Amino acid sequence: MKKVLIPTKLDALAAKILSEHGYQVVQEPKTPILDLAKANPDAHAVIVRSEKVTAEVLDALPHLKAVVRAGAGFDNIDGKYARQKGVDVMNTPGANSNAVAEEVVALILADIRHVVRADETTRRGEWEKAKLMGRELTGKTVGIVGLGHIGRLVAKRISGFECRVLGYDPLVPAEKAKEFGIEPADVETIFRESDFITLHIPQNAETKGFVNKRLLALMKNDATLVNCARAGIVDEDAIREAKGLKSIRFLNDVYPKDAEGPKSVADIADLMMPHLGASTVEANRNAAIRAAEELVDLDEKGVSPFVVNRDMPAGLDASYCDLAFTLARVCRAILGADHPLRRIEASCYGRLQPYSKWLSLSFLNGLWADIDRSSDFKTVLADLETRGVAFKVRDADPTKKYENSMTVDVASEGAAVSLRGTVGEGVKMVSRIDEFNHLYWTPTPYAVFFEYDDRPGVIGAIGEALHKADINIEDMRNPHNPATGHSMAMLSTNKPVAPELVASIAKTIRSFKSSALAF
């Protein structure tokens, strides 16, 4: 009989489902997870919520095969060490989405009707009816930044208040947003026109400090910002400064660390909660059911679409995964980061062909940071379908003799780009961009790209503009295509080239396609 440890207050349905499938369940929410592990070294699996599954916990369970996180995030589990020990780590994405969406509505209503203060003062015997004049949500404009599961559910829940709902997500096509009753808008429009703005984006290098001084300056007086996503996506100091200049509200449920103690946003948050987004009976039940069912499917059917710590397959050089990721970043830069993608096709040649799906995951991760390279391929395809993106892994044509290379074609609305790359002596190279072949450009931290009608003097003009900006050219490719009369300049630089400078150079040389790249 396989033993499953549950060191958390998870809904009893998990234990019931597992017991019905022949598992022995040990659920002790008051016992520290390490103590429970040491007392049960024969455990087959562990189901956790926020409990930390460290290397020490994993070492205490020599027979462990799976750790299931009853929730979406899994940064409380040492997934890399788990993989080294042959342990699958799984999560239950989407189980908590409705709970978070309803929390957003609850926070807004509680704030505009002064629920907390009204309760406190009335209990003290005071009667502040005249001071607690509220506002109505009905008919207001609500802006949603991030249209994933939670963002779309917020739009659905808020629809009953007859609001105008604006939404921003560069990865969701406009027609898809409209299907959810959302009016597509850019971020600036959302911050300028919304009465309430709610954030539902992941925290990563690109979104850190996303809500900054510039966006806050656009907010209307008496507008409200709600953050039930991640703490790092807002610049706290910028909010502090903005609140000193005008009357805006900030409602918060997320922090850098979930723990007791002072909170850095205490002076700027008008309402604070201790990360209660997923803390509902229903969300707990959904996560419990999903966690138990995933474990059963893994053991009985070998089904593992939610394994998040898959290792590198034998025989595949990790440098090719980095190549796929790099090709995607170049594609994104050329097409523009804000353009919704429509179609993606990829081909892998030579010894890479058996790893086409795996390499495709690395490529897709380069296009969308929230697609993890370790995700299950079928799950990612389903995710792409919700984004309105067609994806295809093509059969490689062996007659082309592109040894150990990868070709990708990406199309957005009204634009497309095609790249091929390979790895030579451990160095990743872009060998083709659209019509320009035999490039063998090695991606560097910073680069700039221009395409233009071939004529003398263009490279000199680019060099002069970069020189005036104190930017040095470290490498350059300048191929020509006599058939089309087009030329391309791909220049590696010693520092990033500002978008304004790229636009200025493009205008000077009459470039019809240009972009700055950074890796």
Can you give 213-243 as a three-state secondary structure string? HHHHHHCCCCCEEEECCCHHHECHHHHHHHH
What residues contact 53, with CB distance under 8 A and at least 6 apart?
A: 33, 46, 67, 76, 77, 78, 82
Per-residue pLDDT tens digits for 306-344:
787 876 665 677 788 888 988 998 998 888 877 889 999
Helix axis angle for 356-367 and 318-335, nearest 10°, is: 40
pLDDT at 301 over 80: no
Q: Could you tell me the pLDDT band of residue 350, with boundaries at 50, 70 and 90?
A: confident
Distance CA 419, CA 437 (A): 9
- The answer to whether 493 touches 465, Cβ cutoff 8 Å, is no
pLDDT at 114 over 60: yes
Distance CA 299, CA 347 (A): 33
How confident is the prediction for the chain on average, in pLDDT?
A: 91
Give domain limits for the chain. 3-95+282-301, 97-272, 312-435, 444-519
- Torsional class of 277: left (φ above 0), alpha (ψ -120 to 50), beta (otherwise): alpha
Question: What is the CATH architecture assignment of 312-435?
Answer: 2-Layer Sandwich (3.30)
Which residue in 474, 494, 406, 477 sits closest to 441, CA to CA?
477
- The answer to whether 181 touches 166, Cβ cutoff 8 Å, is no
Region 273-285 average pLDDT: 93
Distance CA 243, CA 213 (A): 11
Q: Do domains 97-272 and 312-435 have the same CATH topology?
A: no
Strand order in the sheet with 24-27: 24-27, 3-6, 45-48, 66-69, 88-91
Residue type, 426: G
Distance CA 298, CA 195 (A): 46
Output the pLDDT for position 27: 97
Higher model confidence: residue 321 or residue 235? 235
- pTM for the full predicted model: 0.61
Region 37-43 average pLDDT: 97
Percent of the chain with pLDDT over 90: 66
pLDDT at 17 over 80: yes
User: Hey, is 406 helix, strand or coil?
Assistant: strand
CB-based burial label for 77 (10 Å; 0-12, 13-18, 19+): buried
pLDDT at 259 over 70: yes
Give me the phi and psi of 224, to 5 degrees please. Answer: -125, 135
CB-based burial label for 176 (10 Å; 0-12, 13-18, 19+): buried
Name which CATH class applies to 444-519: alpha beta
- The answer to whether 42 touches 63, Cβ cutoff 8 Å, is yes
Per-residue pLDDT tens digits for 160-196:
999 999 999 877 778 889 989 999 999 999 999 999 9
- The answer to whether 143 touches 185, Cβ cutoff 8 Å, is yes
Q: Could you tell me the pLDDT band of residue 373, with boundaries at 50, 70 and 90?
A: low
Region 88-116 average pLDDT: 94
- The answer to whether 138 touches 148, Cβ cutoff 8 Å, is no
**Which residues in 235-389 belong to E strands, given as ranges?**
249-252, 271-272, 341-348
Output the pLDDT for position 175: 84
Region 419-438 average pLDDT: 88
Question: What is the CATH architecture assignment of 3-95+282-301?
Answer: 3-Layer(aba) Sandwich (3.40)
Give me the phi and psi of 41, to 5 degrees please. Answer: -65, -10
Could you give the C-alpha distances from 426 to 79, 91, 325, 354, 475, in angstroms and in order? 27, 34, 15, 20, 19
Region 416-442 average pLDDT: 89
pLDDT at 83 over 80: yes
Output the pLDDT for position 518: 77
Other CB atoms within 10 A of residue 363 CB:
27
Name which CATH class applies to 97-272: alpha beta
pLDDT at 302 over 80: no
